């Protein structure tokens, strides 16, 4: 009976610690400035953001239109979950996807308003540190279509 109590207490402590909620940034705030071939800001053009956190099997994105200064700001994406989730979810993802599993974070922004932009470039963050360490800033140059 004496050996039973340390196991019970250990499991209880593990359950308590594992249920402590923690927040984590999945992708940082991303500011995008869209300029034309003459380096002038382009307003009212759609910019798309897409991101994936492969370790956690989380993904998202959205579309925004540039303001008068040619800017859009995508809000950071955060997730709050118990500590146990942050530990076990990458393991579960690895098991679910097997040899096809990937890890880390990848994000992109690009001009998706092809009616206005004839030729548009995109930008990407390609690893966890780059995508989550702090605010992201990208400049996208487009060639405007003539009407």
Averaged over 120-127, what is the pLDDT? Answer: 81
105-111 vs 46-53, strand pairing mode: antiparallel
Q: In degrees to the nearest 10, what's the CA dihedral of 113, 116, 121, 127?
A: -20
**What is the Cα–Cα distance from 33 to 16, expressed in whole angstroms?**
45
Per-residue model confidence as pLDDT tens digits over 8-23: 777 777 777 667 888 9
Residue 5: the pLDDT is 76
Q: Residue 70 — left, alpha, or beta (φ > 0 → left; ψ -120 to 50 → alpha)? A: left
pLDDT one-digit tens code per residue, 58-102:
999 999 999 999 999 999 999 999 988 888 898 888 888 888 888
Average pLDDT, the chain: 86
Q: Look up the pTM and report it.
A: 0.81
Per-domain residue ranges for the chain? 4-144
CATH of 4-144, one of 2.60.40.1120, 3.40.50.150, 3.90.1150.10, 3.40.190.10: 2.60.40.1120
**What are the angstrom distances between the C-alpha of 102 and each of 27, 57, 97, 127?**
17, 9, 8, 12
Name which of 128, 56, 52, 133 is nearest 87 in CA terms: 56
* Residue 123, pLDDT score: 86
């Amino acid at each position: 009976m004496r050996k039973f109590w340390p196991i019970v207490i250990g499991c209880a402590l593990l359950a308590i610690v594992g249920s402590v909620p923690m927040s984590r940034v999945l992708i940082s705030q991303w500011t995008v400035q869209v300029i034309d071939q003459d380096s002038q800001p382009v307003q009212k053009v759609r910019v798309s953001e897409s991101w994936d956190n492969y370790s956690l099997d989380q993904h998202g994105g959205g579309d925004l239109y540039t303001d008068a200064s040619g800017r859009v700001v995508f809000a950071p994406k955060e997730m709050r979950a118990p500590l146990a989730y942050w530990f076990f979810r990458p393991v579960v993802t690895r098991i679910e996807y097997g040899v096809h599993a990937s890890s880390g974070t990848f994000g992109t922004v690009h001009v998706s308003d092809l009616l206005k932009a004839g030729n548009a470039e995109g930008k990407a963050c390609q690893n966890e540190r780059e995508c989550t360490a702090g605010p992201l800033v990208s400049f996208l140059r487009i060639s405007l279509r003539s009407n």
